[in-house]
Structure 1
Amino acid sequence: MHQTLSLITSDLSPTKLGFSVLFCSFLLYTVGKMFGFGSRNEFVVEGRTVVITGGSDGMGKAVACQLAAKGANVVIVARTVKKLQEALDDVKASAANLNRQRFHYISADLKDAAQCEQIINEVTEWNDGLPPDVAWCCAGYCNPGFFIDTSVETLRDQMDTVYWTAANTAHATLRKWLVPVSPAEQKPMPRRHLIFTCSTLAFVSVAGYGPYSPAKAAIRSLSDTLNQEVEIYNGARVSGHAAPAADIKIHTVFPMGILSPGFDNEQKMKPELTKQLEAADKPQTTREVASTSIAALERGEYLITTMFVGHIMKGSAMGVSPRNSLIRDTLTSWLSSLAFLHVIPDLRRQAWNWGVKNGLPFTNSK
């Protein structure tokens, strides 16, 4: 997850478009401060149980540590037991109160839907019979490359490890959360949160991410769909019908570049053209991405980006997705519409120029 568009920050300023971008940027931040979310914390985790997939490394581990520091009971899920054990030590070291908080790890292959169900059942048993309050899907990896140079097996694996690990986790979690409770048994409960980790590639495509970005776009589409569907169950809770025990809210985080061991490995595989197209990307640390994401969750945001260029990329592709802030997101969309009048043709031009200079890319059937 590491992409940006160098064009946004390169040659726009000498043009009228550039002045529009600068003006709108200032206006965006000003209005954002004026009309932003209130001070109420919409994502309280103290004393609550959080499951984090992909929690043994990278962003998932950083999220686990920071939520532990806020008082959460944390369960991390990944495949490698040794990495899970080492990560859990770091999570415990971050805890706000070791005497009150609990920590656990589960080794599982999230590509297997049955194992995802077993995870949620195990967490429920470990959590004194109550399902987790928060599920955060961070599992996955990026295998960059040109589409035809990537084997069909790798293309399928990218969909499995990026989209299906998240979809399987969401399916198992929601089936547990949405079990109806009779009106007589219902009582006030804090809202539950399902969080996907996506990528700004779901908003703006970049050559060289053909194996990866379609899976991220699928997550964004699933998120929008579930954002509507959970309202059926939330609505039932206020109408006297049998309904789930708590309201549910969906969120999706769209980071850009994240400095991690996975990022270093991706850089070795990434086509040179792709590196050129995202040359202005300034990857964030896992801690920065985690803290920015958690702060946005505490404001109650739905689609969450972690840096300014990501906000612009999101603005270019909001479509019918719910807005975090009607005024702020509308202004961002206007700004993005101006910027991307230049950006997308420039991306295509750079790819064309690359072909003129270098000929066909080296074909590597993986």
Structure 2
Amino acid sequence: MFLPAALAVTLVLVSLVTMGLFRQRWNPSNKHCYITGGSTGLGLALAILLTKKGADVSIVARDQTKLSAALQELEKVRQTPSQKLKAYSFSLTEPKLASDALETVCAEHGGRTPDAILMCAGASRPSFFVESEAEDLKRGMDNAYWVQAYTAWAAAKRMVKTQTQGKIVFVGSVLSFMSIIGYSSYSPGKYALRGLAESLRSELQLYDIDVQMYFPSTIFSPGYEEEQIDKPEITKKIEETDGGQQPEECAQALFEGIARGDFHITGEFLGHLFRSTGRGVSPYNNVFLDSIYGLIGVIGLPIWRRSVDKLIKGNQREHRQYLMSKGFHSRS
């Protein structure tokens, strides 16, 4: 009797510890949060949420018109007159530009390094691999990997030099754990981001810098609407089972994960399954719940994958006709 009871108590305590109930939650009030991709979608929703919680918020994106509109939204939810809410137009797919953007933002804060670097910038352009041009593959890595990697590189250097004990937060995708037809130019970059986050989580412990990563499924954002234009129909068909979430829901899930101190952050059932079955040796968020998700995933995800493969193979004739209509190959 004693041994099972002791084991049960141990499991509960471990579960509570990994849930973060015995850890101090991160509070963004009076902290400087630097958000890339902050003009629309998840980035804007997160900027609004953090502004409501009293943070100084700097958003960076390319389009000045969208940035100006986003800044107006932040001003509507300003909590105090002293909050600094700023917007900056930069491209972040080159190392110098990523460094310049960060330095410009820091200059507005008297040279102070941001307390949190939150990287929401990125884009996806789904297509068939055989129809891609070499430039499409390069652009895919720029938009899925380098746009965040260069910012993380600049931020880590600055944080270490200024002895800033802050946070670096990546935004990946469930496509960081698995991929499907149509995402050959996007998933490789998201897989690479996950590897970078794993490496930096280990290395930056030397400086008490936290590294975290968010893995959302479909986000109903302006970027999602753009990706639908040329997305292969077979990809759309597979994604019909993904309910999707609004940017505000994702921003809340991301914030909660950051506040708890989770390394791998997910906020809906599908994400929990892929995270728990594909986490490798990454830390548990909750050893009890993650074990349950992992068990469900081990049983359910192979069934899901077989159904996806069956759907794709059943599309072979239609796809050949599509390629013929595009002049990709001859009827012979």
The TM-score, its normalising length taken from structure 2, stands at 0.89
Q: Deviations over 1:50-103 (max 9, x none)?
A: 110000111101110100000000100011111111111111212222x12011
The amino acid that maps onto 1:130 is R
Alignment of 1:226-305 (within 5 A): 226-231=200-205, 233-234=206-207, 247-305=208-266
Q: Deviations over 1:107-135 (max 9, x none)?
A: 11101111111122122221122111000
Counterpart of 1:194 in structure 2 is 168
Answer yes or no: is the 8 Å Cα contact 2:16–2:286 preserved in 1. no
Counterpart of 1:121 in structure 2 is 103
Q: 1:33 to 1:274 in 2, by over 3 A?
A: farther
Aligned mates of 1:211, 1:35 — CA distance in 2: 35
Counterpart of 1:55 in structure 2 is 38
- How far does residue 346 in structure 1 lie from its aligned partner after superposition? 2.1
Aligned mates of 2:193, 2:267 — CA distance in 1: 17
- How far does residue 334 in structure 1 lie from its aligned partner after superposition? 2.0
Question: Could you tell me which of 332, 336, 339 is aligned with 2:297?
Answer: 336
- Structure 2 unaligned regions, length at least 5: 1-13
Q: 1:34 to 1:45 in 2, by over 3 A?
A: closer
Aligned mates of 1:364, 1:254 — CA distance in 2: 38
Query: In terms of mean alpha carbon deviation, does 37-46 or 346-355 score higher?
Result: 37-46
The DSSP-based 3-state class of the residue aligned with 2:161 is: coil
- Structure 1 unaligned regions, length at least 5: 1-30, 182-188, 235-246
Q: Deviations over 1:159-215 (max 9, x none)?
A: 01220010000000000001176xxxxxxx7x4110001100111211111111111
Q: Deviations over 1:318-343 (max 9, x none)?
A: 11222222332233222211112312
Query: In terms of mean alpha carbon deviation, does 316-325 or 84-93 score higher?
Result: 316-325
The DSSP-based 3-state class of the residue aligned with 2:28 is: coil
The amino acid that maps onto 1:315 is S
Counterpart of 1:13 in structure 2 is none
Aligned mates of 1:283, 1:33 — CA distance in 2: 29
Which structure is richer in relative contact order (CA contacts within 8 A, separation 6 or more)?
1
The DSSP-based 3-state class of the residue aligned with 2:210 is: strand
- How far does residue 269 in structure 1 lie from its aligned partner after superposition? 1.1
Alignment of 1:89-100 (within 5 A): 89-97=72-80, 99-100=81-82
Q: Deviations over 1:229-249 (max 9, x none)?
A: 112x23xxxxxxxxxxxx210
Answer yes or no: is the 8 Å Cα contact 1:52–1:75 preserved in 2. yes
The DSSP-based 3-state class of the residue aligned with 1:320 is: coil
Query: In terms of mean alpha carbon deviation, does 308-317 or 339-348 score higher?
Result: 339-348
The DSSP-based 3-state class of the residue aligned with 1:359 is: helix
Counterpart of 2:279 in structure 1 is 318
Query: In terms of mean alpha carbon deviation, does 204-213 or 193-202 score higher?
Result: 204-213
The DSSP-based 3-state class of the residue aligned with 2:314 is: helix
Aligned mates of 1:126, 1:58 — CA distance in 2: 25
Counterpart of 1:213 in structure 2 is 187
Q: 1:364 to 1:53 in 2, by over 3 A?
A: farther
Aligned mates of 1:123, 1:79 — CA distance in 2: 15
Answer yes or no: is the 8 Å Cα contact 1:318–1:333 preserved in 2. no
Return structure 1 stretches of 4+ with deviation > 6 angstroms.
Answer: 31-35
Q: Deviations over 1:141-171 (max 9, x none)?
A: 1100111112110111010122001000000
The amino acid that maps onto 2:57 is V
The TM-score, its normalising length taken from structure 1, stands at 0.81
Answer yes or no: is the 8 Å Cα contact 2:18–2:284 preserved in 1. no
Answer yes or no: is the 8 Å Cα contact 1:133–1:192 preserved in 2. yes
Counterpart of 2:52 in structure 1 is 69
- How far does residue 226 in structure 1 lie from its aligned partner after superposition? 0.5
Aligned mates of 2:327, 2:65 — CA distance in 1: 33
Answer yes or no: is the 8 Å Cα contact 2:18–2:287 preserved in 1. no
Counterpart of 1:105 in structure 2 is 87
Aligned mates of 2:109, 2:215 — CA distance in 1: 30
Q: 1:35 to 1:218 in 2, by over 3 A?
A: closer
Q: Deviations over 1:279-305 (max 9, x none)?
A: 111121111100111012111111011
Counterpart of 1:204 in structure 2 is 178
Answer yes or no: is the 8 Å Cα contact 1:158–1:211 preserved in 2. yes
Q: Deviations over 1:253-282 (max 9, x none)?
A: 111111112111211211111111111111
The DSSP-based 3-state class of the residue aligned with 2:223 is: helix
The DSSP-based 3-state class of the residue aligned with 1:116 is: helix
Answer yes or no: is the 8 Å Cα contact 1:149–1:364 preserved in 2. no
- How far does residue 361 in structure 1 lie from its aligned partner after superposition? 4.2
The amino acid that maps onto 2:241 is A
